[in-house]
Amino acid sequence: MEKTMLTGDRPTGKLHVGHYVGSLRRRVELQESGGFDDIFIMIADAQALTDNADNPEKVRQNIIEVALDYLACGLDPEKSTLFIQSQVPELCELSFYYMNLVTVSRLQRNPTVKSEIQMRNFEASIPVGFFTYPISQAADITAFKATTVPVGEDQLPMLEQTKEIVRKFNSVYGDTLVEPEILLPDNQACMRLPGTDGKAKMSKSLNNCIYLSEEPEEIKQKVFSMFTDPTHIRIEDPGKLEGNTVFTYLDAFCRPEYFPEFLPDYTDLEELKAHYKRGGLGDMKVKRFLNAVLQAELEPIRKRRKEYQKDIPYVYEILRKGSEKAEKRAAETLQDVKAAMKINYF
Ligand code: ATP
Ligand code: MG
């Protein structure tokens, strides 16, 4: 069977290191592995409008920011199709037919939608478009017959919903759509990276992010003001790792080579953690190490981003070509769908 990857991001802000460890880094690895027949990466502007209808300019401007972040991280337009959701109208048509296969109560039970409604204070007046975005997300995934969707943990309920739609469609109209598999990060810290405030997940909407384009001095400031273990007061005190944001970030970002490079008196992260738990290791030393790790990870990304930023028309051209290719593929699926439903009358 063909292997196709689809994933994407909402253009509601620049991408942050939560996106990077939750999905972006994996996409680039999979792209380089050569294991896929096709890779589609979508900038979900239409979905972003479902809760930003009054601010289309924000969405418009962030399309280019997200595209720059993609290219900076190593997504390669020769190997991956980068496209803009709204430029593929077939996705709306698919959503329209899928809406008949989902109940209102099923959407109300979707835990991600529930918590997002709360976060946005939508309780009293939920826009219909926002409420139904899991259906439109099912259209995005199935339009490309995606087999693999690498995303963070918050997307699990979305993938479940998509699978249900696929099963329902196939059982009513005959085998047409492909059931996708979610690909979660293999490391717990990356599933839902907390914000620099240590509380909720890092999210553009919560102002607790380290952005991929962040300058070195800002990264350092954010790392140095992070939460550790509040009971770890003197260096000699034993420290806790649970809920310690600095160690969560090390779990997400540290590579073995960073030890000989930045902290040669330890062999690996396990040894560093053991010392912290025992006592005798100060927070500042761990923060300095995390800062060095993040600077090493983000410097090449920031540099590449600045290069692409010099030629914005070229970036738009990549998105135009990608959107054309994506539309062709979605149109094929729409034909299959209409044929299965027997609504291809002429
Ligand atoms: P918004 O606040 O507009 O919803 P967001 O920061 O939640 O923005 P999305 O565009 O909704 O970002 O998510 C894009 C992808 O990044 C998804 O696959 C999601 O699972 C992943 N992701 C987002 N934030 C995190 C995080 N903190 N940790 C791990 N993965 C994340
Ligand atoms: Mg989100």
| Sign of the torsion angle spanned by Cα atoms 152, 154, 159, 162 | negative
Q: Whose CA is nearest to atom 7 of ligand 1?
A: 203
Asked if residue 183 belongs to a domain, the reply is yes
pLDDT given at position 207: 83
Same domain, 113 and 254: no
Where in the sequence is the domain holding 277, given as residue range(s)? Answer: 214-305
Q: Identify the pLDDT of residue 298.
A: 98
Distance 194 CA to ligand 1 centre (A): 11
Evaluate whether 165 touches 101 at the Cβ level (below 8 Å): yes
Burial of 265 by CB count in 10 Å (0-12 exposed, 13-18 middle, 19+ buried)? exposed
Confidence (pLDDT) at 120: 84
Residue 37 and residue 142 share a domain: yes
Residues 6 or more apart from 285 whose CB is under 8 A from it? none
Q: What is the CATH classification number for the domain harbouring 96? A: 3.40.50.620
Cβ of 12 closer than 6 Å to ligand 1, yes or no, is: yes
d(CA 326, CA 49): 20
Q: Which of 23, 148, 110 is nearest to 73 (CA)?
A: 23
What backbone phi and psi angles, to 5 degrees, belong to 61? -65, -35
Examine residue 201 and state whether it is found in any structural domain, yes or no. Answer: no
Does ligand 1 come within 6 angstroms of the Cβ of 154? yes
Q: Domain for residue 209, yes or no? A: no
Run means of pLDDT, 10 residues per run, the chain, 346 residues: 95 96 95 97 98 96 98 98 98 98 95 89 89 97 98 94 98 98 92 89 87 97 94 93 96 95 95 97 97 98 98 98 98 98 94
The structural domain count of the chain equals 2
Residue 69 lies in a domain: yes
Is residue 207 a part of any domain in this protein?
Answer: no
pLDDT of 32: 97
CATH of the domain at 271: 1.10.240.10
Dist CA 200 CA 92 (whole Å): 32
From the CA of 203, how far away is ligand 1's center (Å)?
Answer: 6
Residue 313 has, within 13 A of its CA and on its CB side, a CA count of 0
Q: Assess: ipTM above 0.90.
A: yes
Looking at the structure, do residues 161 and 31 belong to the same domain, yes or no? yes
pLDDT at 124: 80
Please indicate, yes or no, whether residues 104 and 143 belong to a single structural domain of this protein. Answer: yes
Cβ of 201 closer than 6 Å to ligand 1, yes or no, is yes
Q: Are residues 16 and 158 part of one domain? A: yes
Same domain? For 290 and 324 the reply is no
Measured CA distances, 333 to 91, 139, 255, 294, 338 (Å):
10, 10, 41, 42, 9
3-state SS, residue 148 = strand
Establish how many alpha carbons lie within 13 A of residue 61's alpha carbon, considering only the half-sphere containing its beta carbon: 7
What is the whole-number distance in angstroms between the Cα of residue 220 and the centre of ligand 2? 26
Helix (H) or strand (E) holding 138: helix 133-143
Separation CA 25–CA 321 (nearest Å): 24
Residue 199 included in any domain: no
Residues 288 and 329 in one domain: no
Same domain, 240 and 120: no
What's the CA gap between 280 and 262, in Å, rounded? 19
Classify each residue of 18-42 as buried b or exposed e, where b means 16 or more C-beta atoms within 10 Å of its C-beta: bbbbbbbbbbbebbeeeebebbbbb
Residues 154 and 76 in one domain: yes
Pick from 107, 120, 14, 135: which is nearest to 67 by CA? 14
58 lines ligand 1 (CB under 6 A): no
Of 309, 264, 262, 265, give the one whose Cα is nearest residue 290. 262
Distance in angstroms (rounded) separating the CA atoms of residues 85 and 42: 6
Asked if residue 317 and residue 242 are part of one domain, the reply reads no
Report helix, strand or coil for 43.
Answer: strand
- Does 32 share its domain with 137? yes
Per the domain annotation, does 346 fall within a domain?
Answer: no
The DSSP secondary-structure symbol of 193 reads P
Q: Name residue 131's amino acid.
A: F
Whole-number Å distance between alpha carbons of 336 and 316: 30
Is there a single domain that holds both residue 81 and residue 163? yes
Q: For residue 186, is it within any domain?
A: yes
Query: Which of 24, 118, 154 to probe ligand 1 with, by most ligand atoms within 8 A of CB?
Result: 154
